[in-house]
Amino acid sequence: MKRIAETFENLRNQDKTAFIPFSVAGFPDVNASLEIFLKLAEAGNVVEFGFPFSDPTADGPVIQQAAHTAIQNGMNMDAAFEMIRKIRTRTDTPIIFFSYFNPIHKYGPARFAATAAECGVDGVLVVDLPMEESHFLKPQTDAAGIAWINLATPTTPEARIQDMNHNGSGFLYYVSRTGVTGANGGLPTDLAQQCSKLRVLSELPVAVGFGIATPEDAANLRGHADGVVVGSAIVSHVATKGIGTELDSWLKTMTDSLA
Instruction: Give the residue numbers annotated as catalytic, written as ranges.
Output: 48, 59
Instruction: Report the alpha-carbon angle 108-111-169, nearest 5.
Output: 95
Q: Residue 3: exposed, middle, or buried by beta-carbon count in 10 A (0-12, 13-18, 19+)?
A: middle
Q: Calculate the CA dihedral of residues 127, 130, 131, 132 and round it to 10 degrees.
A: -160
- Round to whole Å and give the CA distance between 203 and 255: 25
127 closest CA partner among 61, 195, 50: 50
226 closest CA partner among 191, 188, 180, 258: 258
Q: Are 208 and 229 in contact (CB under 8 A)?
A: yes
DSSP codes joined into one string, 75-144:
--HHHHHHHHHHHHTT----EEEEE-HHHHHHH-HHHHHHHHHHHT--EEEETT--GGGGGGTHHHHHHH
Q: Are 243 and 36 in contact (CB under 8 A)?
A: yes
